Structures are given as C-alpha cells and as structure tokens.
Amino acid sequence: MKLNKYTVDDINFAGKKVLCRCDFNVPLKDGVITNDNRITAALPTIKKIIADGGQLILCSHLGKPKNGPEEKFSLAPVAVRLSELLGKDVVFANDDEVVGANAKAAVAAMKDGDVVLLQNTRFRKEETKNLEPFSSELASLAEVFVMDAFGSAHRAHCSTVGVTDHIKCTAVGYLMQKEIDYLGNAVEAPVRPFVAILGGAKVADKLNVISNLLEKCDTLIIGGGMAYTFAKAQGKAIGTSLVDDTKLDYCNEMIKKAEDLGKKLLLPIDTVCTKSFPDPIDAPIDTEVYAAGEIPEDCMGLDIGPKTRELYAEAVKSAKTVVWNGPMGVFENPILAEGTIAVAKALAETDATTIIGGGDSAAAVVNLGFADKMSHISTGGGASLEYLEGKVLPGIAAIADKD
C-alpha cells in the first residue's frame, strides 16, 4: 500500500494563499514554550511555501480547551517563536472565533512570502466534530491546503479533513511525507528481517497493532507493562505487576498466531522488580531481578532484566528494519530505565532502518540522547499507532492522490 500523494514539491505556491495545518501543540509553562521541537519540525514546509512566494496561513490546535477560548491555550507564544526562527514577522490573528475580523484583515493585507498564524482551532467547538460552518470559514481564506500535522492525521477535524471538502488543491508537507515514507512503507514493504518492538503499559492500547505486526514482521518483541499480561496468560506468577485480566485470552491467541505464522514472539525471560512503585517517579528505589514468571507475591515488575536486554539486543543485530513503539519499563526512573536504554542502544548500533513510533518511546530516545542515531522518529503517538495497525488515517486520505 504505497501511498502516492501530492506533496509540496509538486506545487509552485507563488502568489497563492496557502492554508497549512501544522502541529504546534507544544508544552507551555507560564506562557513560555518549554520544547519547540514541533515548531522546528514544521520549518522545512513553511520555508518552501514562503520561498516560492506563497502567502502562508498557518493553523494548529494547542491543548484541550473544554469550553471554547481559554487564554492559557493561546497560540500567541508560537507566533513569537516562529518569528524568531524564520527571522521575519509572523502576524498573529488573535480571534476567539479563529476566522474573525483580525484573521480576515491580516489575510487580505498579505503580500507574497508573508505568514499569518490563526488562533487555536479548538477554540471553535465545531473543530473536533468536523462540523460546518468552521470548515468552510477556514477554507475561505485560501486556495491551497497543505497537511503537515501527522500527530493529528488520525482525527477527522475541520482543520485536518473538513477544509478539503472546499479546497481541491491539496498536498502533504515534508513532515507528513516523511511519516508516510517511513512508517507506512516500512510496514507494508519492509527490508527483511523486520523486527517490531512493542512496549508500554497496556495491552488494550496495542491490541490491533500486535495482530497486524505479527502478519508483517519476522520477529515481534514484547516489553513494558503489557508483558505481564502475556506472562499471566501463560500461567506464570507476576506478583503485583500491572495486568489486564480481560486480555488474557487475547494474549494466548497472539502466542498461537505467532506459532501458526512461523513468527518469533519474544517475551521477557527476567524482570527487574520492586516492592512498590517509585513515588515520585524518579525517586531512588531498591530492586531485585527475578526470572520471568517467578515474581514474588509482594513484588511488581517494572523493567526487563539483564538477560532479556541481551536477548532483545541480539534479535535487533541482524535486522534490516526495526519499528519500536513503547518503552521497556518505567524509563522516567534512572534505575528502571536500563531496559529501555539497552533497546535504544541496540537500535543505535544497528545498520537497520530504525523507526520510533512516537509517544513515550520517542520521548525516551530523545531524553536518553539516541535521537540522532535513529532513521526516523515519528511525531505522532496515537497516529503512528493507528498507522501501524494498518488503519487509513483520515488526514492522509483527504489529500489528493497522484494519478
């Protein structure tokens, strides 16, 4: 399923008004941006459009405003940071209704190469329900729509999908194209051996991902909190470890599915355990290592053990494609981060194409200093998971296909 969408390289934007959906959902503290990665990730697409001489209108959501406009979710700080990064003035159209008097006046006054940033799209209640009249109001500002917010591509909102009912000239930006190339095509047509690594806390979050990846990969590695549900499904002792008792049958089905398909399914063989969860999460804590399935009644598993780290690192060595989604343990605690570090290190040292599927695993790779060693780190948590499930993402489907 190789996707063939129009991209920003297929369009000359000179003299055109362009609405570009970005992901500026950045962390803020007291009105100050604490991490601008999502803004810098959008710069290649922004620079291409303004270099062409396009008149660029940017939109994004930020946070989850519940009852319409909330000052703490304003995109004003993003406009300031964008102005600094671009070395030119980015006009911030501060309208509670997003497409209001300020936005209309700013857009009407635009010259080629100018940039306007609209207010938080979620200030409009129609946004998340993909309802009119917001979609047509957004679309009325422009003649071209560029989708470059992969992190929102799994949501059919006014600013990701609705506008394409009214704007027929559409394309994906560089960030979206990279996600499609790496995540989509790696899963659909991987260079083998293809190893998939799934971690994180909940089996439920990754139900369909496990099933879909078993059909695509050669080896599936399971770590993190969901490993204990697999262990319990096999009748092993897991102490007070996290478990989803409603998914025990499913885990056994996946073990059988791997056998039937002739795929390797690797589960932890030893576990780093503690008597209680660290509080605060990064507090010093005493640990013991037990064989998987032999965890004492008063202990909980919070990371993969040293033998499992070796097993998983060895499995990655011969891989040509690796997709990793979800940490191996409570990586926020330095004592319980060893498993996640071992996997990140193994990926950093392999010649394989290495794809990190967003969310906690992306945060772990960045925080642990391995980001520059990975082929691709996805910008979408939920979106990358749904893509790995084999789902069609509405924000991608809405963009025009090349003939």
Buried b (16+ CB within 10 A) or exposed e, 365-402: bbebebbeebebbbbbbbbbbbbbbbeebbbbebbeee
The domain made up of 183-388 has a fold known as Rossmann fold (3.40.50)
Name the token pair of 195: 């190893």
Q: Annotated catalytic, 359?
A: yes
CA atoms within a 13 Å half-sphere pointing along the CA-CB vector of 14? 2
Average pLDDT of the residues in 310-329: 94
pLDDT for position 2: 58
Name the token pair of 91: 């006009």
The residue ranges of DSSP E strands in 110-185, in sequence order, are 115-118, 144-147, 169-172
pLDDT for position 1: 46
pTM for the whole structure: 0.85
Comparing CA positions, the residue from 145, 140, 193 lying closest to residue 172 is 145
Q: Is 301 annotated as a binding residue?
A: yes
Model confidence at 222: pLDDT above 80: yes
Model confidence at 38: pLDDT above 80: yes
Annotated active-site residue in 345, 382, 390, 391: 382
CA atoms within a 13 Å half-sphere pointing along the CA-CB vector of 27? 4
| DSSP tag of 351 | S
Comparing CA positions, the residue from 262, 203, 196, 264 lying closest to residue 231 is 203
Q: Is 305 annotated as a binding residue?
A: no
Q: Annotated catalytic, 264?
A: no
Q: Annotated catalytic, 202?
A: yes
Q: Is 62 annotated as a binding residue?
A: yes
Model confidence at 61: pLDDT above 60: yes
Q: Is 381 annotated as a binding residue?
A: no
Average pLDDT of the residues in 54-65: 97
The pLDDT tens digits of the residues spanning 135-174 come to 999 999 999 999 999 999 999 999 999 999 999 999 999 9
Fold agreement between 8-176 and 183-388: yes
Q: Is 358 annotated as a binding residue?
A: yes
Q: Is 276 annotated as a binding residue?
A: no
Name the token pair of 89: 């003035």
Model confidence at 16: pLDDT above 90: yes
Residues in the chain: 403
CATH class of the region 8-176: alpha beta
Average pLDDT of the residues in 302-328: 95
Domain boundaries in the chain? 8-176, 183-388
Q: Is 155 annotated as a binding residue?
A: yes
The pLDDT tens digits of the residues spanning 77-130 come to 999 999 999 999 999 999 999 999 999 999 999 999 999 999 999 999 999 999
Annotated active-site residue in 47, 202, 236, 257: 202
Annotated active-site residue in 54, 239, 339, 359: 359
Annotated active-site residue in 38, 48, 216, 309: 38
